[in-house]
């Protein structure tokens, strides 16, 4: 792969390594573009809720400054982009966009880990009722319809602990909606590296049938992840088997 838009930094509290190390490993891996997309700091108005999954609100400018400095410093060797991975929480979205726009991000990817919002603590992979999968798909499609997202990360994050009918119906609805909105779906290499329930072949069979575009995302939480050929090979095998339409060109 030559372009990776899914890279974290240690600010999110569950990733390792200096920003510069990610750049150095990306250059060694032969990437042409390294997009940083750390878990965006989130403005939760009128609450003292404290998110432990993302950078702090007051780290926004430090993050942007650090990535922009690396962008300049390494301009001859690699293209660096400054983006965010963002949840779509309808009631907070507009204010959140204003907040993030202070640093003029190059792009956003959607990574939806919560149904509703994280104040309600419905972490998607822990849900098992069919109506939760329906709610996830509706929320994701509503978010993608804003046009604010470059692609959808780990689209099948809620997994497969629902009825067979719901899995088929809802993931088909997700794939069709994303296709209509022209939003690519990510094959998440972190899920492969860590043997998570996603990316699941079942989901990508549906994506192949619907005709979605797919893209590889390293979802690096450690600089070493950028040089992991193993996960990339497994993803490539699935792409070949299913005849998926892989985007190999630059996305932005």
Label the pairing between strands 122-123 and 114-115: antiparallel
**Interface pattern 81-120 for Zn ion (x via CB under 5 A):** ----x-----------------------------------
The values of phi and psi at residue 79, to 5°, are: -85, 125
Q: Does 170 bind Zn ion (CB under 5 A)?
A: no
Contacts with 203 (C-beta within 8 Å, 6 or more apart), sequence order: 155, 156, 171
Contacts with 131 (C-beta within 8 Å, 6 or more apart), sequence order: none
Q: Determine the angle formed by the axes of helices 19-28 and 60-73, rounding to 10 degrees.
A: 40
| Residue closer to Zn ion, measured from CB, 7 or 71 | 7
Q: How many residues bind Zn ion (CB under 5 A)?
A: 2
Q: Shortest Cβ distance from residue 221 to Zn ion (Å)?
A: 6
Q: Does 219 bind Zn ion (CB under 5 A)?
A: yes
Q: Shortest Cβ distance from residue 6 to Zn ion (Å)?
A: 5
| Residue closer to Zn ion, measured from CB, 8 or 173 | 8
How many Å apart are CA 208 and CA 190, to the nearest integer?
21
Q: Shortest Cβ distance from residue 160 to Zn ion (Å)?
A: 20
| Residue closer to Zn ion, measured from CB, 176 or 222 | 222
Binding interface with Zn ion (CB under 5 A):
85, 219
């Amino acid at each position: 792969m030559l372009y990776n838009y899914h890279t974290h930094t240690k600010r999110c509290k569950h990733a390792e390594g200096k920003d510069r190390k990610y750049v150095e490993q990306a250059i060694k891996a032969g990437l042409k573009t390294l997009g940083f997309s750390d878990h965006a700091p989130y403005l939760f108005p009128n609450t003292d809720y404290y998110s432990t999954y993302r950078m702090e609100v007051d780290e926004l400018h430090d993050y942007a400054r650090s990535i922009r400095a690396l962008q300049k410093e390494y301009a001859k060797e690699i293209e660096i982009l400054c983006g965010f991975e963002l949840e779509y929480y309808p009631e907070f979205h507009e204010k959140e966009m204003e907040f993030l726009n202070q640093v003029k991000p190059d792009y956003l990817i959607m990574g939806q880990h919560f149904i509703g919002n994280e104040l309600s603590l419905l972490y998607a992979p822990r849900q098992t009722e069919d109506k939760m999968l329906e709610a996830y798909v509706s929320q994701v499609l509503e978010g993608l319809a804003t046009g604010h997202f470059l692609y959808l990360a780990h689209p099948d994050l809620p997994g497969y602990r629902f009825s067979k009918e719901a899995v088929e119906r809802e993931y088909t609805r997700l794939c069709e909606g994303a296709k209509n909105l022209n939003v690519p779906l990510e094959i998440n290499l972190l899920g492969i590296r860590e043997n998570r329930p996603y990316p699941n072949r079942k989901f990508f069979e549906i994506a192949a049938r619907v005709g979605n575009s797919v893209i590889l995302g390293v979802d690096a939480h450690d600089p070493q992840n950028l040089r992991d050929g193993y996960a990339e090979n497994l993803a490539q095998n699935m792409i070949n088997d299913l005849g998926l339409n892989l985007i190999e060109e630059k996305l932005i």
